[in-house]
Amino acid sequence: MAGKAKGRKPKAEAGKTAAVSESRPESAAAGSLATIYVMGQAYKVPKDLTIMKAMEYAGYQFIRGCGCRGGFCGACGTVYRTKDSYKLKVGLACQTVIEDGMYLAQIPFYPGNKAVYELNKLAADTQVLVKHYPEVMRCIACNSCTKICPQDIDVMGYINMAIRGDIDRVADMSFDCIMCGLCATRCPAEIVHYNVALLARRLYGAKRAARAQHVQERVKEIAAGRFEPGLDKLCRMDEKELAQMYYDPKVRDVEP
């Protein structure tokens, strides 16, 4: 969710967003500008910007709907339509480059159903996903969720696995999910796919995945005090010694 930055005219009233018809066209050549529409208001912005940077160029300040800016957090899910096209498209504002005539609307948060549970008390059986998210049984296999996913995940596929109770497959198929919520916005069955997948991944990690033997061995070594002498020596060092250890490649183990 973006609001106009302070100092730009006209001023926005409390809780509202002010708009201007043009955005600093003097700072870019006329041929390199594109027109975008943010909440119905037209702005001229440089063509090579992402949606997020274009909105900031136009004077909007992101308060919600902005996180990592690297395509990982899923906070900047955006719905858009291009000129003379009926089709709604989606993308991450921090990754999608603008097009001329693009009409934009952000979905920084989706009020989806999220089950409350204590993970350590759950059994990783075939019924646990359906028990906490019974709406998965309403899936009509329309595939709208898969088509809208900006990560190209087979969302409908892992929902089918959830119906079957295959926790491992759900966890694996949804591994790249960034929790943007765009799948839930298009689902006619009102399934909140990303929360179903989140429960599956939590169950898999806590109760299904094989435990790494080397991690268990290291935990035992820590408990036995193997590393205490080294930590004590480190704590007694002054700033100069610490700096030398940090910067000197002969002292510090540095990956090539």
CA distance 148 to 92: 11
- pLDDT value at position 246? 84
Asked whether residue 93 is domain-assigned, the answer is: yes
Structural domain containing residue 92? 28-106
* CA-based torsion, 149, 151, 156, 160: positive or negative: negative
Same domain assignment for residues 98 and 162 = no
Nearest to 153 by CA among 121, 217, 116, 201: 201
Domain count for the chain: 3
Q: Same domain, yes or no, for 199 and 220?
A: no
Q: Which of 49, 71, 106 is the last residue of a domain?
A: 106
Q: Are residues 127 and 147 in the same domain?
A: yes
The predicted pLDDT at position 9 comes to 36
Q: Are residues 139 and 181 in the same domain?
A: yes
Task: For residues 23 and 44, give the distance between their C-alpha atoms in angstroms, rounded to a whole number.
Answer: 6
Q: Is residue 22 part of a domain?
A: no
- For residue 142, which of 190, 78, 80 has the smallest C-alpha distance? 190
| Residue 53 counted as domain residue | yes
82 domain-assigned:
yes
| 32 and 72 assigned to the same domain | yes
**Residues 193, 225 share a domain:** no
Do residue 125 and residue 96 come from a single domain?
no
Structural domain contains residue 1: no
Of 106, 132, 167, the last residue of a domain is: 106
pLDDT given at position 181? 92
Same domain, 217 and 196: no
- Structural domain includes residue 145: yes
The runs of H, that is alpha helices, within 3-133 are 51-57, 128-132
> Residue 102's domain is classified under what CATH number?
3.10.20.740
Q: Which residues of the chain have pLDDT under 70?
A: 1-31, 251-256
Residues 102 and 129 in one domain: no
User: Is residue 10 assigned to a domain?
Assistant: no
**151 and 196: one domain?**
yes
For the entire predicted model, the pTM comes to: 0.74
Q: How far apart are CA 147 and CA 98, in angstroms?
A: 20
- 75 and 55 within one domain: yes
Domain assignment of residue 40, yes or no: yes
| Residue at a domain's end among 74, 106, 138 | 106
Do 131 and 198 reside in the same domain of the chain? yes
Residue 19, pLDDT score: 41
79 φ, ψ (degrees, to nearest 5): -105, 135
